[in-house]
Amino acid sequence: MRRHSINRVRKKRKKLNIKILGTRGEIEESAPYHAKHSGLLIDDTLLLDCGDKRFLHYNPRAILITHLHPDHAYFVRHHAVAPIRNFVIYAPDTYPGLDIIVTRKPFTIGSYHITPIPTVHSLKVRSHAYLIEHNKKRILYTGDMIWIDKKYRHLLKPCNAIITEASFFKAGGMIRRDKKTGKVFGHTGVPNLIKLFAPYTPTIILIHFGAWFYKNMPRARAQIASLGKEYDRTVIAGYDGQKIAIH
């Protein structure tokens, strides 16, 4: 009698597909693959930030805005709300002419579980990072920031990847303090962000580059890689159109 072997079929682990749409901060400088403002597409379903009107062509199921600055929400600059009326939009604040869902608690869009995490960045508008969970994958997208308060950091561990800004490379970045309220605002430096996020993820992806990156891009990439080695993490300089699969 012939004995047949039993082949065990392993269920494939579904990956999370990220497409970086824009990596340029609110600056005059521009370069190939670093020309569009902030935008990140997840599984052709969720659009995180919309710094360029053309990102709407991907027809996402929902748009998640980290904060209402024009390089993250193009309509703030152009006051052009008509093209995005048909999309579901989440943001930390409302905006005239748009039916924005303002939420500070976890919510779901289909099979994606989303947790808004407050960040410190601006005096005039609120800002959120978004923790996206799907098929046991977890990524964090921050937008611009100085820091995340300690009381929220337990939410970050562990993340498969963290996507954050790179407006300033120097330690400390550019942080200012309001004379009346004492509140800080601005951007921290890339070294500070790497130090902050290294305990929570093996992979950090930098976008939203400031002028420092454009002055000498090969040198800038080398500096970024060096920081990764210092913290024993993979630190990537993202670019417009880059596709990354989170396994």
pLDDT digits (tens, 9 = 90+) for 58-114: 999 999 999 999 999 999 998 888 889 889 999 999 999 999 999 899 999 999 999
Has residue 244 been placed in a domain?
A: no
Greater confidence (5 vs 34) lies with 34
In angstroms, the CA 124 to CA 213 distance is 27
In angstroms, the CA 35 to CA 105 distance is 33
pTM above 0.85, yes or no: yes
Has residue 4 been placed in a domain?
A: no
In angstroms, the CA 137 to CA 160 distance is 6
Burial class (CB in 10 A: 0-12, 13-18, 19+), 48: buried
State the pLDDT confidence band at 10, using cuts at 50, 70 and 90. very low
Has residue 1 been placed in a domain?
A: no
| Residues spanned by the domain of 202 | 16-239
Contact between 202 and 179 (Cβ < 8 Å) = no
Tokens of 143: 């937008």
Has residue 6 been placed in a domain?
A: no
Whichever domain contains 61, its CATH number is 3.60.15.10
- State the total domains in the chain: 1
